[in-house]
Amino acid sequence: MTDEGPTGDPSPSRLTRWFGSHPFRTILRIAAALAGASLIAGGLGVIWPKPDPIAAEPPSADDPASLAPLPKRPVMVLVVGIDADGLNDPSNKAAPKGPANADSLMLVQISPGDPVQVLQLPTELAVNLPGRKTLQSLADAYPLGSVALTADLIAEVVGLKEGEPERFVVMPRQALRSLVDGLGEVEVTLNQSYEHKDSAQNYSVNLQAGRQTLNGQQAEQLARYRPEPKNDQARRSRQQSLLNGIHEQLNQPNAIALLPSVIGEVSAQMETDLTPMEMMSLAAAALSSDQPPVITQLELAPRTGQQVMRELKPNQQLPLWPVPPGDAADN
């Protein structure tokens, strides 16, 4: 039987292992984030080979490895999609208005020769946050403790190894638009039409069912659209369609030649501890497999009553992700 608090949400006792059992881990991670530059420099040689001192040739249209040296092993990146238009915007101009919220949370694992693995995390997952007496959503970790707290909680929930995720990307709406426009638009297949206008947020959606070619602004509409507060699952499905469309566009013949300029523009609009060379390397590794990304989601327990926040399906064995390479092809 599910333990519930007075609001119908899962009780804190079922979630104490996510934070309470490691009271100093978040503090250590935040301290590590403050010293991030030195830590990153020390880890480069472990993951990435030293770049060729000879000036690089222009990237070859049919050779992803010409972009940059490939990583020596799989690299896990936390991607935080925020609802602010730019990183330094004082207000997200969204709902609820205030500091930027985490609209999308993903773990991405990239390994040369293997399909990219993506775990879409439920932003509505109930977690304990430091200093809060009641359960909060996983999305609330970002405005409270930025990437450090968000990564710490996700590592606990998923059961990641110490030090994972190894890199992070915080992507505002502007960066998503630039990525899609820089690649020359993306194609998606929509199973229904979407029309919505929100004057309070100065935001509208007008997308038709069927095979559609989306520019950056339309891609943003698809990624953000959530007409009902409890419909996060449907929004993740639409975001999955967009991820697949971006992957298809990256495999177009001219994509490799476009990537250096696209990465240069987008990296200036987002926050990350990836260097430009590392971003190029991960892009090359992602393109080294012709298989589509393996996109998975955490299994959630059924919603109870008017419950908005969700909890994980009980009795799951850690780690919940990533999928072993041998099993990825079966999903």
- How many angstroms separate the CA atoms of 209 and 191, rounded? 6
For residue range 110-131, list pLDDT tens digits in order.
999 999 999 999 999 999 999 8
What is the pLDDT, as a whole number, of residue 146? 94
CB 16, CB 157: distance < 8 Å = no
Tokens representing 79? 């991607």
- Domain count along the chain: 1
CA dihedral 62, 68, 73, 76 (to 10 degrees): -100
Is 321 a domain residue? yes
- How many angstroms separate the CA atoms of 30 and 152, rounded? 9
* Residue partners of 142: CB distance under 8 A and separation at least 6: 80, 82, 100, 101, 102, 149, 150
Is 217 a domain residue? no
- How many angstroms separate the CA atoms of 146 and 327, rounded? 33
- How many angstroms separate the CA atoms of 301 and 268, rounded? 39
Is 245 a domain residue? no
What is the pLDDT, as a whole number, of residue 253? 84
- How many angstroms separate the CA atoms of 241 and 188, rounded? 6
For residue range 243-289, list pLDDT tens digits in order.
999 999 998 888 889 999 999 999 999 999 999 899 999 999 999 99
Exposed/middle/buried for 47, CB within 10 Å: 0-12, 13-18, 19+? middle
What is the pLDDT, as a whole number, of residue 308? 87
What is the pLDDT, as a whole number, of residue 90? 77
What is the pLDDT, as a whole number, of residue 206? 87
232-239 long-range contacts, CB within 8 A, separation 24+: 232/122, 232/123, 232/124, 233/122, 236/120, 236/122, 236/297, 239/104, 239/120
Tokens representing 98? 């205030």
Q: Which residues pair with 206 in a beta bridge?
A: 195
Count of other CB atoms within 10 angstroms of residue 194: 15
Positive or negative, the CA dihedral 147, 150, 154, 155 is: positive
- How many angstroms separate the CA atoms of 293 and 78, rounded? 16
Is 99 a domain residue? yes
21 DSSP 8-state letter: T
Q: Which CATH number characterizes residue 64's domain? A: 3.30.420.590
Is 188 a domain residue? no
What is the pLDDT, as a whole number, of residue 45? 53
What is the pLDDT, as a whole number, of residue 36? 43
- How many angstroms separate the CA atoms of 226 and 232, rounded? 7
Is 206 a domain residue? no
Label residues 50-71 b or e (16+ Cβ within 10 Å = b): eeeeeeeeebeeeebbbbbbbb
Is 241 a domain residue? no
| In the chain, beta strands by DSSP E | 75-82, 102-110, 117-121, 126-127, 136-137, 167-171, 186-190, 194-198, 203-207, 210-214, 271-272, 294-297
Residue 48: phi and psi, rounded to 5, are -115, 135
The ranges of the chain with pLDDT < 50 are 1-21, 23-44, 53-55, 328-331
The parent domain of residue 306 ranges over: 12-174+271-328
Using alpha carbons, list the distances in angstroms from residue 204 to 61, 115, 148. 37, 34, 32
Is 107 a domain residue? yes
- How many angstroms separate the CA atoms of 126 and 301, rounded? 12
